Chain A
Amino acid sequence: MRRLTRLLCAVVPLLPLLVIASSCGPGDFDPQSKLASVRILASKADKPYAKPGEAVHLEVLSVDGRADKSRPMKMYWLPFVCENPRNDAYYACFAPAASDAGAGDASDAGRGNAGLGLLRPGVDLTPFLKTGPTYDITVPKDAVTSHRVVPGADVAYGVAIVFNVACAGHLEIIPADPSTGQQQVPLACFDENENQLDPSQYVIGFTRVYAYDERTNTNPVFDRFTFEGSPIDLTKGIDMDRCTTDKRRDCPELKIDVAVTEASWEQNPGDKDADGNERKEQVWAAYFANVGQLSGDARLLYDPVRGKVDGSEIKYQAPNEAGDGSLWIVAHDNRGGATWVEIPLHVH
């Protein structure tokens, strides 16, 4: 089977689509669903699509999956809203204005980067940053009108980008790295001894809030959760026996499934097929666990064309050790909507 997979992986470049289906990813790496480091899993806005001038409440889901939590993880928010960066590219929010022109299509960098580029490396940014899982912004009133006209976009829009950092230390500005061109990471996480921490200790995230004059979107709403076909009581969580075999692949596979309400599968105005029929959103659920092992990272719940997907469950293998842990399920739609739930896991 391994040889077959290798063969398939060699063939799939000709079938780019099959890359997705053929599980050609690295076989020995920890999956995204395994939480063993500082992680941001998702963020959500109370209004994924906001009107210009509206206040938006942002919330981020971060998890400290490290075994050693002696230096606690904190959630920082960079104190600016980056409005309409060039080509809507998040990295353009940090581009120096002088070099932002890039190739041809010059426009300004995202407005409101709070002069990050003016700060010198070595400065501890912590005193200037808001901390905590939530952040409130106001979408600029000219968010839509100041966005350049995009040919092919069905309606005018604007975008506001907010950056946050989960860091087990403090944040400092770092010098530009010429090897990454336009994609500059302007800051990093340092410990109390001014040592730059490795990626397991920090995550720099960003969330986009799209602004439309009329268009709206709501976050998905969970409908039900099942474990081996039975409903899950979210207050009690899931009880299961530990896996007693030495080989992980021989551990029993337990089915976990989630559903969102039918109403969560909203119309997607502007998404019309070649025949002009309007279609709906794509909705999927991402799974994370800090104990045990999941069979994948995410499962499709609704497809814009085929509707509700049957057999969307994911398989879970309990750990060999007894103890408690958590399972996080994040439901996304493809218009920036999200919701999540944390389910306790009790392994006996």
Chain B
Amino acid sequence: MSLAQRLRRSFRQGGTWALALGLALASNSAHAQQPKKDEPPPQSGSSVPRGASGAVLVPKDDPNAPPPPPPPPVAVTPPVLTRDDGAAYPAEMLAKAPRETVDVKLVLVVDPAGKVTRVDVEKGSGYEPFDRAAVEAARKLVYEPAKRGGSPVAAKVRHTYEFAPPKSRIVGKVFDGTSRTRPLAQATLTLRAAGAEAPAAGSAPARKVASGADGSFRIDDIEAGKYKLIVTADGHETQEYDEDIEPGTERDMRIDARRTGETPKPGQPEGPVEEVTVKGEKPPREVTKRTLEQREMSRIPGTNGDALRSLQNLPGVARPPGLVGLLIIRGSAPQDTNVFVDGALIPLVYHFGGLSSVVPTEMLDKIDFYPGNFSAQYGRVMGGIVDVGVRDPKKDGKIHGLAQVDLIDARVHAEGPVLNTGWNFAVAGRRSYVDVWLKPVLTASGAGVSTAPVYYDYQAILQKDISKNQNFRLFFFGSDDRLDILIKSVNASEPSLAGGLSAHTGFWRMQGRYKNKFSDETELKLMAAVGQDFLDFTIGDNFFKLTSQVITSRVELSQKVAPGLILNTGLDMLYVPYRVDVRLPSPPRPGEPPSGPQFSRPPLNVGDSDALYRPALYSELEIVPWKGGRVVPGMRVDYAKDTRSWDLSPRVSARQDLTTSPRTSLKGGIGVFSQPPQPQETNPVFGRVGLVSNRALHYGLGVEREVNRNVEIGVEGFYKQLDHLVTQSAGNVGTGRAFGLETLLRYKPDERFFGWLAYTLSRSVRRDSPGEPERLARFDQTHILTVLGSYRLGRGWELGARFRLVSGSLFTPNQYGFFDENAGANLPLQQYPNFGSRLPLFHQLDIRVDKTWQFKQWRLSAYLDVQNTYNQGNVEGVSYNYDYTRSTFAQGLPLLPSLGVRGEL
């Protein structure tokens, strides 16, 4: 039985109590129409026009005139309901459904044809979705019209809809002992209302079921409420579980029926592992959408709890060298992936390129990651998409606070209600400590330090639930990194990289977000952000100074146009006025060796003000053509003012459930993805005019299977055909390919454990121009294996580990070449084509231990995150002597412990 069918729909017609309140044009018509002889007299108690007190309304033309003789009685019959399809229980109320039955009282106007022409809510339910559902249902009612003297007339009637909470269900399995392998048959499961230790008179009787041969059981038609589930079986201890059943949910339980005298194994929970699922979750619009939840983000070993760094552990994401925070997805270059914070594009992901994310983990709700074949709502890149979801402030009416200190930075965070205004707030800030330990190191190396590297970030949120369907949020956030040092030691191979060195990078955004779910069929999402980006970089006599104002907005309207058919239409705007001043040497083209040190050629100067304007429109259909099937065709149209070109990006993704329990799905997609050139590529000085967008054709095909509620496995193959790639100063002459296979075996977070095994096999190649040989892309990594897990031991302890085994990074070997006498530097001969050699295999084990102490009012936690636990000397690069006749491997991180302490209110 479907959810809608399980709704108890009822109505009470106004026949006896809700007699017609009045007939249309009641008084005037009553007087204007003379009764016909064959009309029946009015029935006693039938509707006649009455005032609020119930008195008959009488026209008062002349107060001095004698009262007219009473009109002859006219027969009036109320309207009779002939068709009612009932009101559907609003889907959006399933998650927050009231546990009591609610009703909506309506007043209807029924025309002489029996159609409802007007619906007014006389008394609402207190929940707008119920009222709306009732009104929509009432408009479809059909009546036998009211009659006056035998002739159909318009009439008003009352009508009431009742909405009873949908029933719920408990399913599960009972296991023999704590083995989790042997099902226990014939266990008795008794469900009774909480507090009713024995069935009381008048209360619902307890319900009993027995587990089947495979240990499974099922209890249907449970009303929402608190229950006690008692499990008894011969030779086993009686176990009781308190269950708070939400309306319209299915609770999936695994019960370990302990044998008499058996004790839980170490690390095993003492109670049942309860897993709650609400069936019918909508599948994603994309072929592959990977979501990291808060716990995963904050607990992955080797990341210091950094949210965005956790992404590097997912399939399809290559390992960047050292601590660099590059996102290298499916063989794409880092700039081919965009990162959004709640839909707003941000220019920087990490402080100083990799130390920590610019938005702290505490602020995040989840991270959605799309490695390819993403929805038409995203564009302007041909790699992947990361959309960071910021959580709303807590709404429990209390003030919460957090302070954390580790070896890199210190942060504070507060959130709670804004008095009794209905608004909630969150504020947070962070400052690095890097300058404290780096300044002595830099000074010892001979540098004069004015400002040692330091970073800040800050966030503030104001949020309000305007109604149950409307949510508004203001989010202000930003980041600031800066350093200022004087390098007195001149590097032999690059003398110009000496002298004053300063860098200041950052951004801020003020973002507004509004969501309104007008009805089950219509939803509007609005996001607008304004802000500023700044990048100011000086070394010696070279500099790069960029200041830009960023205005972005997104509007998406989702409309259910028919059963199984949803249309999503949106506008995605990017407008960036900027000012840039640059003095830099001309960069070599890809594959072309440098012509010498930086100053060996006269530097180029650019001073320019302009604006990037890149609007886009997209439309997408979500089609459910049959059960278990889903097809999402879409089209995106982008315009780039800087290249004066349009990009059409048709895309389609599809999935089909092959089995339902457990669910196995086949999925796939194909689409065009366009990426406008980088600003420097279209610059007439550093690049080339007349460029068009880079283009990628994504193909994806995969299968995923939910082994059980926690465990899922997925395998997906991808192929990306790249063309129109911009080659520096040469135009859209590059081509390339990236292909591979991604496998993910994942245990989703439960009360104890989360973890996964991810393996990616891939190859990414480029051809810079038709005459050049095909070469490996710079970040190509053949094998990427990541195994990680984190387990709550109990008593506040949690232990996690991560192991990575990854092909070595590519590099370009150098050899003895020429001597540049102007610079006094040896210049190497570079292997051709570039990136033709690979460093040794990388492998590393990271371990993280967390301990939490829970006090009455607050919580204290500490963690120790040890990277490279067995101190593997992984190779991250090659170092050469001054004339490139000798070389050695440059090793990466040694064993690196990091400690942090956090207090939370």
Query: Which residues in A have some Cβ–Cβ distance to B below 8 Å?
Result: 3-4, 6-15, 17-18, 20-26, 28-32, 40-43, 60, 87-91, 101-105, 150-154, 157, 177-183, 185, 199-200, 203-208, 210, 268, 270-274, 279, 281-282, 284, 286, 296-300, 303-306, 309, 311-312, 330, 332, 334-336, 338
Contacts and interface: CB of A to CB of B under 8 A. Distances in A.
A41 B815 CA distance: 19
Given A14-B354, A60-B821, A150 B883 contact: no
A311 B823 contact: no
A175 B819 CA distance: 20
Given A60-B821, A309-B486, A104 B499 contact: no
A20 B491 contact: yes
For the complex of A and B, the 8 pairs showing the least CB-CB separation, nearest first, are: A181-B832, A104-B730, A152-B685, A152-B604, A298-B490, A14-B353, A29-B881, A32-B882
Contact of B490 (A88, A89, A299, A306): A299
A309 B487 CA distance: 10
Contact of A20 (B498, B600, B885): B498
A304 B831 contact: no
A180 B831 contact: yes
A223 to B, nearest CB: 18
Interface residues of B, number: 107
B593 A91 contact: yes
A206 B818 contact: yes
B829 interface: yes
11 contacts: A29-B880, A87-B592, A104-B727, A104-B730, A150-B586, A271-B541, A296-B489, A298-B824, A300-B488, A300-B490, A312-B488
Given A7-B893, A105-B730, A332 B824 contact: yes
A4 B768 contact: no
A296 B487 CA distance: 13
Contacts of A286: 490, 492, 824
A273 B262 CA distance: 79
A103 B768 contact: yes
B821 A272 contact: no
A311 B488 contact: yes
A152 to B, nearest CB: 3
B601 interface: yes
A154 B605 contact: yes
B731 interface: yes
B896 A40 contact: no
Contacts of A20: 487, 489, 491, 494, 497-498, 501
B702 to A, nearest CB: 33
A296 to B, nearest CB: 5
B322 A11 contact: yes
Given A90-B596, A152-B686, A205-B820, A15 B495 contact: no
Interface stretch (B226-234, B395-403, B438-446): B438-446
Contacts of A41: 824
Contacts of A298: 489-492, 495, 498, 824
A94 B863 CA distance: 60
Interface string B858-885: 0000000000000000001101111101
Nearest to B583: A271
B496 A334 contact: yes
Nearest to A202: B816
Nearest to B351: A14
Contacts of B51: none
Nearest to A209: B822
B602 interface: yes
Given A20-B498, A330-B824, A89 B595 contact: yes
Given A21-B487, A286-B490, A274 B543 contact: yes
A102 B769 CA distance: 9
B538 interface: yes
Interface in B410-459: 438, 441-442, 445-448, 453
Contact of B821 (A40, A281, A309): A40
B594 to A, nearest CB: 8
A154 B606 CA distance: 10
B452 to A, nearest CB: 10
B503 interface: yes
B684 A284 contact: no
B488 A309 contact: yes
B824 A17 contact: no
Given A6-B894, A312-B488, A103 B540 contact: no
Contact of B591 (A103, A281, A284, A297): A103
Given A105-B729, A199-B885, A279-B541, A185 B818 contact: yes
Contacts of A199: 816, 883, 885
B500 interface: yes
Interface in B776-835: 815-824, 826-827, 829-833
Nearest to A335: B599
Contact of B604 (A42, A153, A185, A200): A153
A87 B593 CA distance: 11
Interface string B592-623: 11011001111111110000000000000000
